């Protein structure tokens, strides 16, 4: 495939590359394509955890880059491009996405994880076609695709790694290497498109252009009106071709294949969609037909926005979502406190009046709570023959997580949120003003002093049930995050009820785990041990900040470091480092923030409790651990409660 068959079609058109990458610039210039470079202002901060596959993240980033430039140019540059090209290249290994390293230590982490392994390089590409209309509005069409290339690294020595890192080449390249330069010396073989690894899959791009301009009238500006489909639920609101095999022919409108056009995916970050809009009346009609129809921001050349009602609607929806968030939380907490989900599991098909009798509450209040839970997707209603009123039943969400006896029940943790965290966050304004935890204020309001907590076995048990339920949900992800089969002994520091330890011995039958925690915690932990009773897990009473740590090959810290002051954190890490011999492993699980603090929101919101500790990014933890002699080998982000990091003592 060459570009010649379409070069004449692009002659005289304004083609824009939404990237400042010199490698993409060179690849495209070598084809003879004439284009301008307008780097995208889109911040690459999409949450990787929201994407099922790595290539989806690359494609979505490429789309957002291209769309940002396509929408900005008519306003800022006073000219509308005919085509905007966006691209994003990522390197993935063991399910982890590697982008550009932030510093030399990050580059070392990346390259170490690639040493001796085959990995994948994905480039997502988005092509936005812009069509000006008579009223100076712009219609957008979007085509995206991705390319995957397999690359195998040689086994890299420390000297070779640092020699390459110190050359400075890794710092602006995905995965920390440039295959077209010095990085080529690290590579054993390449399977697939070499230029894709450099930064742009030229062959696949040319095939897409050939389809667009030579084989499919769908993308012809002259047929725009017949191309765009209505915005109801049965049709796509824009042209979006997403395919791995570019040899697949694209459907033509009104043909039997037209139904195979993919519906536009909702963007996980900006929720921007691209569709065609003709007149203001037409826009309003589409809005009424489908609340999910989202129009692009359309401006005339004087910069006036013609379609500002839709962005405002989205913005308002988002604000209301945030404003009402506390109501949704309290509805969940209250239904859980009344054991509604347990009741409907044991007695499914009750109506609101029957449920009110069971939970000893008013019919009006119960009915209102149940309907709110239906709107949140926690319950559902159904009409039953012979029953005058609709009855309620649990959804799968409630069945799996909200019943108190479910395997992965969060019932106890939800009650902890209601009884302990809710009162703390009710005083958030004071916490922000003072920069301290509001436990003292809560103590006065609700008589919840630290002393009463420590002396109340019942309160301790409630707290441990909460920690146990949240740990069980995350345990599998933590235990399977990395391969630690070469290690034989582990110490779960602050391991509470042993939920993580018991999951580890399931995954690694040869592993034995010691759970270290305070004497009062170990005493109550016996209640949770009875259901397991496995000799490979033992419990040791002690204070990990004062007492000697048990000897182990692997030390595990799950949700420990974020709650410690800097002084206590360094005391603990120093004790672990002293107990470790070279090659010992440290497994850390926390909520890892992004470097620019764009997410994930759970960690940032948790920090508002103003505890003594601090939420950190993976890079920040890596730097701290490096000071104690640990090298970060791998980081894994999870869709669950926790992310994980594996470090090795140097």
pLDDT single digits (tens) 38-67: 889 888 778 888 888 999 999 999 999 999
Kindly state the average pLDDT of the residues 238-250: 33
Does the domain formed by 325-409 have CATH 1.10.10.10?
yes
Task: Provide, rounded to the nearest whole percent, the portion of the chain with pLDDT above 70.
Answer: 78
Confidence of residue 32 (pLDDT cuts 50, 70, 90): confident
Q: Give catalytic status of residue 88 as yes or no.
A: yes
Per-residue model confidence (pLDDT) at position 530: 60
Which of 47, 82, 88, 383 is labelled catalytic? 88
Is residue 317 predicted with pLDDT exceeding 80? no
Is residue 366 predicted with pLDDT exceeding 50? yes
Burial label, 302 (beta-carbon count in 10 A; 0-12, 13-18, 19+): exposed
Confidence of residue 20 (pLDDT cuts 50, 70, 90): confident
Q: Please tell me if the domain spanning 4-260 has the same topology as the one spanning 482-649.
A: no
| Interatomic CA distance for residues 26 and 29, integer angstroms | 5
**Alpha-carbon torsion, ordered 447, 558, 567, 647, to 10 deg:** -170
Please state, rounded to an integer, the average pLDDT across all residues of the chain.
Answer: 79
pLDDT in tens, 62-115: 999 999 999 988 877 778 899 999 999 999 998 888 888 888 888 899 999 999
| Interatomic CA distance for residues 393 and 458, integer angstroms | 32
The kind and range of the H/E element at 514 are strand 512-517
Is residue 354 predicted with pLDDT exceeding 80? yes
**Spatial contact of 467 and 437, defined as CB atoms under 8 Å apart:** no
Confidence of residue 434 (pLDDT cuts 50, 70, 90): confident
Is residue 496 predicted with pLDDT exceeding 60? yes
Q: Return the percent helix, strand and coil in the chain, to nearest 5.
A: 45, 15, 40
Per-residue model confidence (pLDDT) at position 473: 83
CA 290 to chain centre: 28
| Interatomic CA distance for residues 112 and 161, integer angstroms | 8
Q: Which residue has the higher pLDDT, 489 or 215?
A: 489
Confidence of residue 251 (pLDDT cuts 50, 70, 90): very low
Confidence of residue 30 (pLDDT cuts 50, 70, 90): confident
Q: Give the three-class secondary structure for 491.
A: strand
Crossing angle of helices 363-375 and 325-337, in 10° steps, is 120
Burial label, 476 (beta-carbon count in 10 A; 0-12, 13-18, 19+): middle
Any idea where the domains of the chain sit in the sequence?
4-260, 280-323, 325-409, 482-649
CA neighbor of 127 nearest in space, from 199, 74, 65: 65
CA 306 to chain centre: 34
Record the tokens describing residue 37, joined without a space. 């470079």
Kindly state the average pLDDT of the residues 565-589: 94
pLDDT in tens, 107-140: 899 999 999 999 999 999 999 999 887 767 788 8
Confidence of residue 637 (pLDDT cuts 50, 70, 90): confident
Q: Which residue has the higher pLDDT, 635 or 316?
A: 635
Is residue 236 predicted with pLDDT exceeding 50? no
**Spatial contact of 556 and 587, defined as CB atoms under 8 Å apart:** yes
Q: Which residue has the higher pLDDT, 462 or 589?
A: 589
β pairing state of 391-394 and 379-382: antiparallel
Is residue 1 predicted with pLDDT exceeding 60? no
Record the tokens describing residue 324, joined without a space. 């009402």
Confidence of residue 386 (pLDDT cuts 50, 70, 90): low
In CATH terms, the fold of domain 4-260 is: Maf protein (3.90.950)
Q: Which CATH number fits domain 482-649: 3.20.20.70, 3.40.50.720, 3.40.640.10, 3.40.50.150?
A: 3.40.50.150
Q: Supply the Cα-derived Rg of the chain in whole angstroms.
A: 28
Is residue 623 predicted with pLDDT exceeding 80? yes
Confidence of residue 7 (pLDDT cuts 50, 70, 90): low
Kindly state the average pLDDT of the residues 518-528: 84
């Amino acid at each position: 495939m060459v570009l010649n068959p379409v070069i004449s079609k692009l002659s005289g058109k304004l083609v824009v590359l939404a990237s400042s990458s010199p490698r993409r610039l060179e690849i495209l210039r070598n084809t003879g394509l004439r284009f301008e470079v307008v780097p995208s202002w889109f911040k690459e901060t999409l949450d990787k955890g929201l994407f099922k596959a790595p290539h989806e993240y690359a494609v979505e980033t490429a789309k957002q880059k291209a769309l940002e430039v396509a929408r900005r140019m008519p306003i800022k540059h006073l000219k509308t491009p005919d085509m905007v090209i966006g691209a994003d290249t990522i390197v993935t290994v063991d399910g982890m996405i590697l982008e550009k390293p932030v510093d030399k230590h990050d580059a070392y982490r990346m390259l170490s994880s690639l040493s001796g392994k085959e990995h994948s390089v994905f480039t997502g590409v988005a092509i936005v076609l812009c069509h000006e209309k008579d009223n100076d509005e712009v219609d957008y069409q979007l085509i995206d695709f991705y390319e995957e290339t397999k690359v195998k690294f040689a086994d890299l020595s420390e000297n070779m790694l640092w020699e390459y890192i110190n050359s400075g080449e890794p710092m602006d390249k995905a995965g920390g290497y440039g295959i077209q330069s010095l990085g080529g010396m690290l590579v054993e073989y390449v399977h697939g498109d070499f230029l894709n690894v450099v930064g742009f899959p030229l062959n696949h791009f040319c095939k897409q252009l050939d389809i667009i301009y030579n084989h499919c009238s769908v993308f012809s500006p002259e047929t725009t009106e017949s191309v765009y489909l209505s915005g109801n639920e049965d049709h796509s609101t824009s042209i979006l071709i997403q395919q791995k095999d570019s040899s697949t022919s694209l459907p033509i409108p009104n043909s039997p294949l037209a139904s195979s056009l993919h519906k536009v995916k909702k963007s996980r970050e900006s929720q921007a969609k691209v569709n065609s809009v003709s007149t203001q009346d037409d826009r309003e009609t589409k809005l009424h037909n489908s609340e999910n129809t989202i129009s692009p921001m359309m401006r005339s050349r004087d910069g006036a926005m013609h379609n500002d009602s839709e962005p405002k609607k989205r913005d308002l929806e988002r604000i209301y979502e945030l404003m009402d968030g506390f109501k949704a939380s309290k509805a969940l907490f209250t239904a859980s406190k009344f054991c509604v989900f347990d009741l409907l599991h044991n007695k499914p098909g009750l109506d609101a009046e029957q449920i009110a009798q069971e939970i000893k509450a008013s019919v009006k209040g119960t009915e209102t709570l149940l309907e709110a839970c239906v709107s949140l997707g926690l319950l559902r209603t159904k009409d039953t023959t012979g029953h005058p009123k609709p009855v309620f039943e649990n959804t799968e969400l409630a069945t799996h997580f909200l019943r108190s006896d479910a395997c992965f029940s969060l019932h106890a943790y939800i009650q902890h949120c209601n009884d302990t965290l809710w009162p703390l966050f009710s005083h958030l304004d004071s916490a922000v003003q003072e920069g301290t935890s509001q436990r003292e204020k809560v103590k006065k309001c609700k008589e919840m002093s630290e002393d009463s907590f420590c002396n109340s076995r019942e309160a301790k048990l409630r707290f441990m049930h909460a920690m146990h339920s949240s740990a069980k949900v995350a345990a599998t992800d933590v235990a399977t995050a990395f391969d630690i089969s070469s290690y034989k002994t582990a110490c779960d520091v602050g391991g509470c009820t042993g939920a993580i330890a018991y999951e580890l011995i399931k995954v690694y039958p040869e592993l034995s785990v010691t759970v270290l925690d305070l004497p009062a915690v170990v005493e109550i932990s016996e209640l949770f041990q009875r259901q397991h009773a496995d000799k490979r897990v033992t419990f040791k009473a002690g204070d990990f900040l004062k007492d000697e740590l048990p000897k182990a090959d692997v030390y595990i810290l799950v949700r420990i470091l974020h709650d410690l002051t800097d002084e206590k954190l360094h005391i603990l890490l120093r004790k672990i480092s002293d107990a470790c011999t070279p090659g010992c492993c440290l497994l850390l699980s926390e909520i890892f923030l992004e470097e620019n603090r764009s997410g994930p929101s759970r960690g940032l919101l948790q920090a508002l409790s103003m505890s003594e500790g601090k939420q950190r990014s993976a890079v920040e933890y890596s730097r701290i651990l490096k000071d104690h002699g640990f090298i970060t080998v791998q980081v894994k982000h999870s869709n669950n409660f926790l992310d994980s990091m594996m470090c090795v003592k140097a």
